């Protein structure tokens, strides 16, 4: 009986102390549980965001490669611009913008010698896209390959527009991104070449030229003295019907040789063949031949008398 009473008293003491401890530690436990729940929520959100971002990145790259498989330049250009606008500041979006700028740059460079207005529009569009990529990348050192590509392309666009000082600035920045990158050496060479006064004078002159677009009747390069294109080959003579130039040259040489021999011997033969003619007096009916015969007969008569 005493043992059961003692056990009951110990149980009540433990319950009382446990209840008192729970009551005293309740605020601390509440804060700990809230902290644990918050951490769990953050971890769950991060995992969800990472998964969603990876999925979005994968979708962006898939769209990027699909855009590059277009049928023509216009379709590729349009698809790349859609990727750049649909996927924000993702890596695939920035690369799509750079490739789209490259297309504008190539078209502008080709049109510089044919259609100056279209060339300026294409080069300006390319420069804007390169600048947009650089703005998205910021001033950090992330994605050095993409950064150098954008800087080098922007320098080329400025060079095509005749803005030599701006081109030199961006070529220098491109060379400073990575000393071992593939475009670094090219950027340095372009910087040194554009710094020459002769090049600056040439670009100053070329910027003021106005090449005209080719006519619809006869497409050409737009420059004077240009060669005909492949579709203009009908203007050339039919070489299959051309005379044999070798035999013609040999005959011409033989004719010139004969003329030279005739000119050297012509004077002597003429003197021998044609004696000088006597002048006939006016009113005389005698011919030169009868006078000669009369003179010869008189000489013969004198000789016989002697």
Cβ atoms of 64 and 95 closer than 8 Å: yes
Inform me whether the pLDDT recorded for 165 exceeds 90.
yes
Q: Which residue has the higher pLDDT, 175 or 33?
A: 175
Q: Spell out the CATH class of 70-206.
A: mainly alpha
d(CA 30, CA 36): 10
Question: Among candidates 56, 104, 52, which has minimal Cα distance to 80?
Answer: 104
d(CA 98, CA 118): 20
* Long-range CB contacts (within 8 A, 24+) of 279-284: none
Inform me whether the pLDDT recorded for 68 exceeds 50.
yes
pLDDT category, 128, cuts 50, 70, 90?
A: very high
In tens, the pLDDT along 206-229 reads 888 887 766 655 444 454 444 434
pLDDT category, 231, cuts 50, 70, 90?
A: very low
pLDDT value, residue 71: 79
Q: Determine what percent of the chain is predicted with pLDDT higher than 90.
A: 28
Rounded to two decimals, the pTM is 0.57
pLDDT value, residue 207: 84
Take residue 89 and report the two structure tokens written for it. Answer: 């500041």
- In sequence order, the 6+-apart residues with CB closer than 8 A to the CB of 286 are 280
Take residue 55 and report the two structure tokens written for it. Answer: 């999925």
Cβ atoms of 159 and 137 closer than 8 Å: no
In tens, the pLDDT along 35-44 reads 666 666 676 6
Cβ atoms of 119 and 131 closer than 8 Å: no
> What sign does the dihedral 227-230-235-237 (CA atoms) show?
positive
Q: Where are the domains of the chain?
A: 70-206
Averaged over 191-214, what is the pLDDT? 86
| Three-class SS state of 196 | coil
Take residue 186 and report the two structure tokens written for it. Answer: 């090219």
pLDDT value, residue 147: 94
d(CA 282, CA 268): 32
DSSP character for 141?
-
Q: Which residue has the tokens 């320098």?
A: 155
In tens, the pLDDT along 6-60 reads 555 555 666 666 566 656 666 655 666 666 666 666 766 656 556 666 777 888 8
In tens, the pLDDT along 264-305 reads 555 554 444 444 444 444 444 444 444 444 444 444 444 444
Residue environment code for 234-261, b if the CB has 16+ CB neighbours within 10 A, otherwise e: eeeeeeeeeeeeeeeeeeeeeeeeeeee
Inform me whether the pLDDT recorded for 88 exceeds 70.
yes
Question: Among candidates 62, 103, 97, which has minimal Cα distance to 81?
Answer: 97
């Amino acid at each position: 009986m005493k043992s059961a009473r003692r056990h009951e008293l110990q149980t009540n003491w433990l319950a009382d102390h446990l209840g008192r401890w729970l009551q005293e530690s309740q605020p601390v436990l509440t804060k700990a549980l809230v902290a644990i729940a918050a951490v769990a929520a953050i971890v769950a959100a991060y995992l969800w965001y990472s998964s969603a971002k990876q999925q979005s990145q994968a979708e962006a790259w898939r769209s990027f490669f699909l855009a590059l498989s277009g049928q023509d330049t216009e379709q590729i250009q349009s698809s790349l611009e859609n990727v750049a606008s649909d996927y924000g500041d993702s890596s695939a979006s920035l690369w799509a913008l750079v490739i789209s700028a490259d297309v504008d740059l190539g078209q502008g460079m080709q049109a510089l010698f044919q259609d100056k207005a279209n060339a300026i529009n294409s080069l300006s569009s390319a420069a804007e896209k390169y600048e947009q990529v650089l703005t998205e990348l910021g001033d950090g050192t992330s994605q050095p390959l993409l950064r150098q590509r954008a800087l080098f392309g922007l320098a080329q666009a400025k060079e095509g527009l005749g803005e030599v000082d701006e081109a030199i600035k961006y070529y220098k920045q491109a060379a400073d991104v990575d000393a071992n990158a593939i475009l670094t050496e090219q950027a340095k060479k372009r910087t040194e070449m554009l710094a020459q006064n002769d090049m600056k004078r040439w670009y100053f002159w070329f910027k003021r030229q106005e090449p005209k677009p080719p006519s619809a009747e006869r497409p050409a390069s737009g420059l004077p003295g240009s060669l005909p294109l492949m579709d203009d080959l009908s203007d050339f003579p039919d070489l299959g019907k051309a005379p044999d130039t070798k035999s013609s040259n040999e005959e011409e040489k033989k004719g010139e040789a004969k003329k030279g021999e005739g000119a050297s011997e012509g004077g002597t033969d003429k003197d021998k063949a044609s004696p000088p003619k006597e002048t006939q007096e006016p009113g005389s009916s005698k011919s030169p031949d009868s006078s000669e015969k009369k003179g010869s007969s008189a000489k013969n008569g004198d000789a016989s008398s002697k």
